[in-house]
Amino acid sequence: MLDINLLRTNIDDAAIKLYKRGFLLDKKYFQKLFHERGLIRTETQQLEETRNKISRKIGQLSIAKNKSTQEESELLKKKMKGVHQELSLAKDKLDKVERELQQSLEQIPNIPHSSVPVGNINKEIRNWGGKREPNSFNSPIKDHVSIGEDLGLLDFSAATKISGARFNLMIGELARLHRALGQFMLDIHTQDHDYIEAYVPYLVNNESLYGTGQLPKFEDDLFKTKQQKNQDTKDKNIKKSQEENLYLIPTAEVPLTNYARNEIIPLDSLPVKLTTLTPCFRSEAGSYGKDTRGLIRQHQFEKVELVQLVHPHSSYEALEQLVGHAEKILQKLELPYQVILLSTKDMGFAAAKTYDIEVWLPAQKTYREISSCSNCEAFQARRMKARFRNKNGKTELLHTLNGSGLAVGRCLVAILENHQNSDGSISIPKALHPYMGGITQLRAKKK
């Protein structure tokens, strides 16, 4: 969430920067609300002063205790009642304006960093490994779906029977390779990149999703559950049931980043670097007809998440570092990729700057996103009240960063397609051999 003072004191500059990312800020609307809030605050302060003066006068008259002062005191008490009513109405009006400001502020995306390309054309930063073109294979190239089904290790029909569309069932050595990928990524990030591994809840509350920016704007993208929560009433023998919404996590960014919600992190504890491997659940609202074949766009998939909570002065250095951590996984798996700096119109809602890492898929003859790494600056921290205490003892908002390190299913897709052989087998990258119990290739099951 943006600092409301930015809109109050420099709304023209904010509007220009937001327009660059395709967001039209209604300046007149906000200026009207700020004006109304100012008038009501002035009215409230004046009524409070009047109330206090009358209260003091009533106190003075009560000391005298004669007939004339008692009559004056009664008149003042009647006047006080009217002032209380006016003050209550004024506070109600102020609360209403404050809520409207807050709700409107929640719909505004983050302001892009000055280095982000303006418009909708992304910028290639670098590539690694070269593209292995389909004609460089010794046999016709197959996509990952055909490979998995030919090996007898990937069954979409069974998954559809069990759950519906956009789910998959991996069996045998493919399931083991999928598990090996997640373990390998965690080991690299914890042993080589100094992240602390965490185990996190897969169900989170409204406040957590609000903190990272998924709520209220993107509720349609989430899977919501309902839980009956028992709460004690005044009578300890009576229970009442209250409905509480919980959501399946769309990404482990949510629980990891909310670790700092309503906390003050000691300066000497920064940076905080966390990682976890979790399933992620997305409704894929608005993606009807897109990537319906295969593992690219699923309702359930696994991902290793990287989150950093850092000092504001070092957040852009940390972003470059985080991107490098994700790249290292692809290099060790011998998978060609490119790093793209997203333009202002392609960035996510909470991001100030985002790099996408795209892996090469030869069957599709294109690069596909496998990691997105963002610096959200103080946008999420402001929502979460995630702070640190600076060297002067004052609290400041943290900067939060997150990235995939990597999406496990898409990494599996890239291995199947880039490491396929003319005999139908798949060569497993050497980095994964210690995790595969001596298996170095995937081969079709013997019938």
pLDDT in tens, 39-55: 999 999 999 999 999 98
Tell me the sheet residues that pair with 401: 308, 375
Percent of the chain at pLDDT > 90 equals 84
347, 296 contact by CB (below 8 A):
no
Q: What is the mean pLDDT of the chain?
A: 93
Question: If we measure between CA atoms, which residue out of 300, 323, 410 comes closest to residue 364?
Answer: 410
Final residue in a domain of this structure, among 51, 77, 105: 105
Q: Identify the sign of the CA torsion 418, 420, 426, 431.
A: negative
Say yes or no: 199 and 141 in one domain.
Answer: yes
Residues 94, 136, single domain; the answer is no
- For the cut 90, the answer to whether the pLDDT of residue 69 exceeds it is no
For residue 194, tell me if it sits in a domain. Answer: yes
The beta-strand segments (E) located in 60-176 are 123-128
CA distance 114 to 432: 40
pLDDT of 286: 65
Residue 125: predicted pLDDT: 98
Quick one: average pLDDT of 144-165? 96
Is the pLDDT assigned to residue 291 strictly greater than 90? no
The pLDDT value recorded for residue 227 is 67
For residues 400-417, average pLDDT = 98
Shared domain for 374 and 293, answered yes or no, is yes
pLDDT, tens digit, 9 for 90 and up, residues 411-428: 999 999 999 999 999 999
Within a domain: residue 338?
yes
pLDDT higher for 368 or 445?
A: 368
What is residue 381's predicted lDDT score, i.e. its pLDDT? 98
CA nearest neighbour of 434 among 200, 198, 191, 193: 191
Angle at 304 between CA 300 and CA 306, to 5 degrees: 130
Rounded average pLDDT over 57-69 = 77
Helix axes 408-418, 144-151, angle to 10 degrees: 80
Residues 84 and 140 in one domain: no
Which two tokens mark 351?
A: 């991001």
Question: Do the domain assignments include residue 79?
Answer: yes
Query: Which residues are paired to 240 by β-bridges?
Result: 231
165 and 261 in a single domain? The answer is yes
CATH number of domain containing 207: 3.30.930.10
Domain that holds residue 101: 26-105
Choosing from 76, 105, 134, the residue where a domain stops is 105
pLDDT, tens digit, 9 for 90 and up, residues 348-385:
999 999 999 999 999 999 999 999 999 999 999 999 99
Residue 240 confidence class, pLDDT cut points 50, 70, 90: very low
Residue 183: Cβ within 10 Å count: 15
Contacts of 60 (CB under 8 A, 6+ apart): none
Q: How far apart are CA 431 and CA 180, in angstroms?
A: 10
* Res. 241: pLDDT tops 50: no
pLDDT confidence tier of residue 288, bands split at 50, 70 and 90: low
The pLDDT, as a whole number, for residue 59 is 83
Task: Give the whole-angstrom CA distance, residue 402 versus residue 414.
Answer: 22
* Claim to verify: residue 92 and residue 132 sit in the same structural domain: no
Read off the pLDDT of residues 297-351 as tens digits, 9 standing for 90 and up: 999 999 999 999 999 999 999 999 999 999 999 999 999 999 999 999 999 999 9
Residues 88 and 131 in one domain: no
Q: CB–CB of 200/193 below 8 Å?
A: no
Q: What is the pLDDT, as a whole number, of residue 72?
A: 83
Burial class (CB in 10 A: 0-12, 13-18, 19+), 212: buried
pLDDT-derived band at 58, boundaries 50, 70, 90: confident
Residues linked to residue 397 through DSSP beta bridges, in sequence order? 387
Q: Is position 404 within any domain?
A: yes
Closest CA relative to residue 11, chosen from 24, 25, 22? 25
| Residues 32 and 84 placed together within one structural domain of the fold | yes
Residues 192, 286, single domain; the answer is yes
Same domain for 146 and 98 = no
Angle (deg, nearest 10), helices 172-191 and 408-418: 120
Q: Are residues 99 and 127 in the same domain?
A: no
pLDDT band at 233 (very low <50, low <70, confident <90, very high): very low
Query: Regarding beta strands 395-397 and 399-407, do their DSSP bridges make them parallel or antiparallel, or are they unpaired?
Result: unpaired
Token pair belonging to 77: 């008490």
**Total number of domains constituting the chain:** 2
Please state, in angstroms and rounded to a whole number, the distance separating the CA atoms of residues 350 and 373: 12
In-domain check, residue 323: yes
Based on the fold, state whether residues 270 and 324 are members of the same structural domain. yes
Whether 234 is covered by a domain: the verdict is: no
In a domain, 16, yes or no: no
pLDDT at residue 370, rounded to an integer: 98
The answer to whether position 117 is within a domain reads no
Would you state the structure tokens that stand for residue 245, as one six-digit string? 């919404």
